[in-house]
Chains A and B, each alone.
Chain A
Amino acid sequence: MSAHDQAASPRVEHAWRVLHDVLDPEVPAISVTDLGIVRDVIAHDDGIEVVVTPTYSGCPATEVIAQSISDAIDAAGLGPARVTQRRAPAWTTDWITPQGRDKLRAYGIAPPGSCASEATAKVSPIRLMARNVDCPRCGSAQTERLSAFGSTACKSLYRCIACREPFEHFKPI
């Protein structure tokens, strides 16, 4: 069975629909497919394999995400589910879907900008000035970084100077 045939199979399509509703435990506004961490869904004779790419090396949610995916696939009657890990190519915030970015913004988290330039850039050690991030509430570009890290490794803490609201920013990586 070729990859194309598999993509068209109803079981695989059903599995993708189920995955659209499996939420990231750390950012419960967006799903694992919004995050772009589900790289492949493969139908086997004895179940469904979901291929996932980890976000951060030390992300404490990795195991929980694998379990949630497995539970959801099983609950939909598609199981038994098997979650496998694919490290390369490494996940980047550029894989967060446009819908995922909208959901983040609506949830009060400023979505990451493109990091295509980041990947090719040399290490720039001195970065005392935070990059410009628009406020997800009022849209103002007048914001300042309060803390490089926030409630999770993938986010930093900002404040909007215009509307005075604090907000989180999903860092580009």
Chain B
Amino acid sequence: MKKNNSIPFVALDKQWQQEKSQLIKIIEKSISRGMWVGGRDVKEFENNIKKTINTKYVVALNSGTDALTLGLKLLNVKRDSEVITVPNSFIASTGAIVHVGAKPIFVDVLPDQSMDYRQIEKKISPLTKAIMPVHLTGSINNMDKIVKISKKYKIPIIEDSAQAIGSKFNNKYAGTFGEIGCFSAHPLKNLNAIGDSGFLVTNNKYIYQKAKLFSNHGMTDRNHTKFFGYNSRMDTLQASILNFRLKNLKKLILQRRHNAELYMKLLDRKNVFFDNERFNQYNTYHLFVIQVKKRDQLKKYLEKNGVNTKIHYPVPIHLQEASIFLNYKKGDFPETEKQSKTILSLPIHQFLKKSDIFKICNLINSFFKKGIN
């Protein structure tokens, strides 16, 4: 039920109201060119991303999932290869690994939800073909440690940066540490289109050239196919919308960071765990996640009081029905499993008012103080 003073988890309607007058013109202009696949807007988008996150090459694609799938293919991950990743991500990261025929090898996560890099080395085997850290919630992994392992064993990194555009580690952008970085511009992401879309970035020219062909059936031109690829192209229309929204990305991230700061100031740390940003991190807060006891009761209590929250994600990947063939069991990744019962995502979008955050924090603090159930 929607109450008048309820606080929604996302606010796409407000985003549209804010941008409407400009966006309609942009959409009309893009459509009137009669060029709906590829073309100028897509090229412009790729160039814009290059500048935004400081990378040499960008290929616009149909989704973040496709970026991961293509990325793995480009790293020559195939049947019987192994890829090391985390079980607390959205399903797409593991899905991409399974779809190229490889086996996902999970490592548990740290209290801040990032990959436990200390566990990577013992999972490496002769079959390991890639390491896939996931910058979940916009919080970046400890890339120093992961890059070190990658160099030592000569195993490439493919970064799942779907939730982390603009995030930085030691002032270097998410997606630019590994061989390939994969991004999503799904409607719910910080940089969002109005349909599925995504892109991959790389500094490797050979990978870039191959990725370009891969995304368009392997065709070098209308009549020649060099190898079998995919159909994974960013819609021209979506590119034109993203070009417009990119101009506002920095500001939007700052607003989200302000919101996070306020949360961290107001929430009572006795009962609420959240991770502070480290000195070498710059996080973009696609999500703001707290970890609490009595999570389900708190969620209900907030819902009753008009605050919409979410859980990302309540069932870890290794315990999903789709993962049965991997033969994992409960207890294999204790930290991930523990977090799946304690994590709660609070509204963090750029249209939140200060008073909204005050209200949410008051509710949470008093929930624990009074022992409300």
Bound pair (A, B): no
Q: Which residues does A use to contact B, with CB under 8 Å? A: none
